[in-house]
């Protein structure tokens, strides 16, 4: 007799070895039809796997988050099967699930997206047949024999330890795979191939170039339609496209992964950092600056050389090894160590806009989102143990204050000790408990992200949500008890003895370049007035009014506003249209009536036009709006 314990604590007896499907049917036929897999004592397995001992199980239905990944894995197999039907000489490699879909790397002649309709048609034929997907276990020798004519599969099997190896078979198609999979191909109800690109086997340029075919799949067509609509919206908001159209930044082959900011991009950059500095000054921070090149011995001392070496750029000066900093921490330690400190000074909150460099593979570079050189709005806070909770709470409130200026909500994650780490168990326990207690006191719900902490300490990550509902990890708060020890940092306590400070690393924007890219897509280039690269465009309706337009611009620039005068010999309609395309928040038309009356006529990006606003009233409202860094452009609402 086998006893199965369900998530609600109930136990069900079964005479024979039941499968997940048997358990599901014992509850209801509807549940059985909706199940894709099961979790047995914490392990995901196929629904038809016999349960051979008493166990706790959870049935995975199409509504569970794990189900989508399982189904997409099966969709990759369906795609591979379809490709082999159409291209019998193709050789399969690997086909993993990735964010929002799956891909399969296949050795075959170059493929274009024009081939997608016929591959999709074959996939739909396979899906319609509802072919059962069955697991088979064989020995390593049997697996090698089966794949004797498949060089990539043979190479993968050779790398496996001796023992049982699993295959998955659907009809006449078999693939090497750990699983689990959905019960039959019919669960792949809505599928679409997205793109194809080249990829080297094992990411090695000396090896064969493969065709990487990307696809996505959902449990129903409505979800797929919504996803494709989301992609269209994301495409319209692409920060690289908008950044080029607005003349904000560019990238060049002479410095791959390193952004060049144009004058208008620098206007946004400086407005962003002015806000950052104002917020930090009010929160009791001082600003520092450290060199970007430091000796190797310092990175060895900090632990970065051992734990982060592959991402660092190095050089040699006067026969000494140096590294370009990938982060600001060791420089911050040296600054603290320049003089003695008393408990009366703590906490010390030292912030830095530090230029860092990290080696990223060329294939992952992505506009401002993934670069090799970027500025990190780092800060190092030194404190006594009893100050930990209060400082973290203040940090969370600062982050919340900053994000609210952009209309950005966020969720929190507590990341714990990773496998690769430095420091003692006691230090990690103290640090993790300190973060956890601060989060509990803050009162906002948070998630536990096991094993994703920094190598030197646990962390709180803040994930902001943009206008499309995408989340981005930007802010982070990392409690570090290891670096102060490695650098022998101390303060003199109330007892006149030396003590080790506790240190927090933290960012708000994270990478400023990346945060700017997020803002471009969040606002679709329509920045709040205080952040816009050009806040107002003045359009004289004829050449005679250009001097008057320039005098208006001078008045506005003297008040700190960013203004352009469009004095080209073009129609007013064209000037207005081009100002709108440039996402200029305020478009001022300058005619004889306005000159005579001392007024302005203002058009905003939503198409609203307001006539005859007295210039002094306009200036008062605009300058106050910018000074308060308001989010909505509601200057002239009644």
Q: Which positions are catalytic?
A: 329, 358, 376, 378, 380, 459, 505
Contacts of 612 (CB under 8 A, 6+ apart): 593, 594, 597, 599, 601
CB 211 within 8 A of CB 110: yes
Place of tokens 């400086």: 270
- The DSSP-derived string for 69-103 is HHHHHHHHHHHHHHHHHH-TT-EE----EETTEEE
Six-digit token pair at 24? 């599901």
CB 545 within 8 A of CB 369: no
DSSP letter assigned to residue 346: P
What is the β-pairing status of strands 502-511 and 373-383? antiparallel
CB 92 within 8 A of CB 80: yes
Six-digit token pair at 370? 């993934």
Dist CA 588 CA 112 (whole Å): 48
Six-digit token pair at 183? 């019960």
505 is in an annotated binding site: yes
621 preceded by a cis bond (ω within 30 of 0): no
229 is in an annotated binding site: no
CB 438 within 8 A of CB 396: yes
- Please state whether 629 falls in left (phi above 0), alpha (psi between -120 and 50) or beta: left
Q: Cβ atoms within 10 A of the Cβ of 490, count?
A: 16
Residue 363 has φ and ψ, to the nearest 5°, of: -70, -15
Dist CA 289 CA 209 (whole Å): 45
Q: Cβ atoms within 10 A of the Cβ of 213, count?
A: 27
Which segments are annotated as binding site for Zn(2+)? 329, 380, 505
């Amino acid at each position: 007799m086998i006893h199965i314990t369900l998530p609600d604590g109930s136990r069900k007896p079964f005479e024979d070895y039941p499968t997940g499907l048997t358990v599901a049917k014992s509850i209801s036929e509807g549940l059985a039809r909706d199940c894709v897999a099961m979790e047995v004592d914490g392990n995901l397995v196929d629904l038809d796997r016999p349960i051979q001992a008493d166990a706790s199980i959870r049935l995975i239905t199409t509504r569970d988050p794990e189900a989508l990944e399982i189904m997409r894995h099966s969709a990759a197999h369906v795609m591979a099967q379809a490709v082999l039907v159409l291209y019998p000489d193709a050789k399969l490699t690997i086909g993993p699930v990735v964010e929002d879909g799956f891909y399969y790397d296949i050795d075959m002649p170059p493929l274009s997206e024009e081939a997608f309709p016929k591959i999709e048609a074959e996939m739909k034929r396979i899906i319609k047949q509802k072919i059962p997907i069955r697991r088979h276990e064989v020995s390593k020798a049997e697996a090698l024999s089966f794949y004797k004519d498949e060089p990539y599969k043979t190479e993968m099997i050779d790398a496996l330890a001796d023992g049982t190896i699993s295959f998955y078979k659907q009809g006449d198609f078999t693939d090497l795979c750990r699983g689990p999979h959905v019960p039959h191909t019919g669960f792949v109800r809505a599928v679409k191939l997205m793109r194809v690109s080249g990829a080297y086997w094992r990411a090695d340029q000396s090896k064969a170039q493969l065709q990487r075919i990307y696809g996505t799949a959902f449990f129903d067509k409505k979800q797929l339609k919504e996803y494709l609509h989301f992609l269209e919206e994301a495409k319209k908001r692409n920060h690289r496209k908008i950044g080029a159209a607005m003349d904000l930044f560019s990238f060049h082959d002479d410095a791959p992964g390193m952004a060049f900011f144009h004058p208008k991009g620098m206007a946004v950059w400086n407005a962003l950092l002015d806000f950052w500095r104002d917020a930090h000054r009010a929160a009791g921070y001082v600003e520092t600056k450290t060199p970007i090149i430091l000796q190797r011995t310092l990175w060895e001392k900090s632990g970065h050389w051992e734990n982060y070496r592959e991402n660092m750029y190095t050089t040699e000066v006067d026969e000494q090894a140096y590294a370009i900093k990938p982060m600001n921490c060791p420089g911050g330690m040296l600054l603290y160590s320049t003089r003695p400190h008393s408990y009366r000074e703590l906490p010390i909150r030292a912030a830095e806009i530090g230029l860092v460099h990290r080696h990223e593979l060329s294939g992952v570079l992505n506009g401002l989102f993934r670069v090799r050189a970027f500025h990190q709005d780092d800060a190092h806070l030194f404190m006594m143990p009893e100050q930990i909770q209060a400082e973290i709470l203040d940090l969370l409130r600062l982050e919340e204050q900053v994000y609210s200026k952009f209309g950005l909500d966020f969720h929190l994650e507590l990341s714990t000790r990773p496998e690769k780490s430095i420091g003692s168990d006691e230090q990690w326990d103290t640090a993790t408990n300190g973060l956890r207690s601060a989060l509990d006191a803050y009162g906002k719900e948070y998630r536990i992200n096991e094993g994703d902490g920094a190598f030197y300490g646990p962390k709180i990550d803040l994930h902001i949500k943009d206008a499309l509902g995408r989340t981005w990890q930007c802010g982070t708060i990392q409690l570090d008890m290891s670096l102060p020890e490695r650098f022998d940092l101390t303060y003199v306590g109330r007892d006149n003895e030396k003590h080790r400070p506790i240190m927090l690393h933290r960012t708000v924007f994270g990478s400023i370049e990346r945060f700017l890219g997020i803002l471009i897509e969040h606002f679709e280039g329509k920045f709040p007035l205080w952040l816009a690269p050009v806040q107002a465009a003045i359009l004289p309706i004829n050449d005679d009014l250009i001097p008057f337009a320039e005098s208006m611009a001078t008045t506005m620039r003297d008040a700190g506003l960013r203004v352009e005068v469009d004095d080209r010999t073009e129609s007013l309609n064209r000037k207005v249209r081009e100002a709108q395309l440039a996402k200029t928040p305020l478009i001022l038309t300058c005619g004889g009536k306005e000159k005579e009356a001392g007024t302005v006529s203002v058009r905003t990006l939503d198409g609203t036009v307001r006539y005859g606003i007295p210039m002094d009233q306009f200036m008062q409202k605009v300058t106050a709006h910018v000074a308060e860094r308001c989010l909505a452009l509601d200057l002239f609402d009644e």
